[in-house]
Amino acid sequence: MRKKEFPRNLILCSALAFFLSYLEYYYVALDGIPYREMYHFGVLNIPPYVLFPLAPALAIVAFSPLFDDLLLHRANWSERSRMIVVGCANFLCAVTLYDSLYYTFRSMFPLPTDPLGGFWIRRGEASIMGVVNLLGVLWPTWYFVTIPVVISVYVAYYIS
């Protein structure tokens, strides 16, 4: 991955995460109530439509520079390993942004028919890792795992 491809790919991942979270909150609804709020999911508390097709779509966009270089045979093995790590960081960033934007839409711009409109997140909605109460706001614990990893990979990529 060339240095100029990295910001474009990051912007594309962020835009796709924004679009998919917007689409999920405002259009994946049953009787005006968002689907994620109507049903409780058993596997890691993740809705099935996130596992397929949303996660693969985010992964394809996050790893698109790697796919491009693999198809054109441009990169050597050390460069490909760097691209895999940056692709993983892009994917983690996109998934974290996607999830946080869903709750941002719900708390800041709620649907008029949403009974949880105006609320950030509840304990029961968090993944299997739980939530952390920070400054009176509940935050999913996995945000505190992914964000430092993503930032450190991005900084290491720009330094190298």
Residue 53's pLDDT is what? 87
Peptide bond into 53 cis (omega under 30): yes
Angle at 61 between CA 59 and CA 67, to 5 degrees: 90
- Write the DSSP string, the chain: --TTHHHHHHHHHHHHHHHHHHHHHHHSEETTEEHHHH---SSTT--HHIIIIIHHHHHHHHTHHHHHHHHHT---HHHHHHHHHHHHHHHHHHHHHHHHHHHHHHHHS--TT-TTTT----GGGS-TT-EEEETTEEEEHHHHHHHHHHHHHHHHHHH-
Over residues 105-116, the pLDDT tens digits come to: 999 999 998 888
CA atoms within 13 A of residue 146's CA, in its CB half-sphere? 19
pLDDT tens-digit readout, 71-117: 887 768 888 888 899 999 999 999 999 999 999 999 999 999 888 89
Q: What pTM does this model have? A: 0.90
The arithmetic mean of pLDDT across residues 128-149, rounded, is 90
pLDDT in tens, 28-69: 887 777 887 777 666 667 777 788 889 999 999 999 988 888
10-26 residue pLDDT tens: 999 999 999 999 998 99
* Distance between CA atoms of residues 49 and 114, nearest Å: 20
2: pLDDT strictly greater than 70: no
The per-residue pLDDT for 11 is: 94
| Model pLDDT, residue 43 | 63
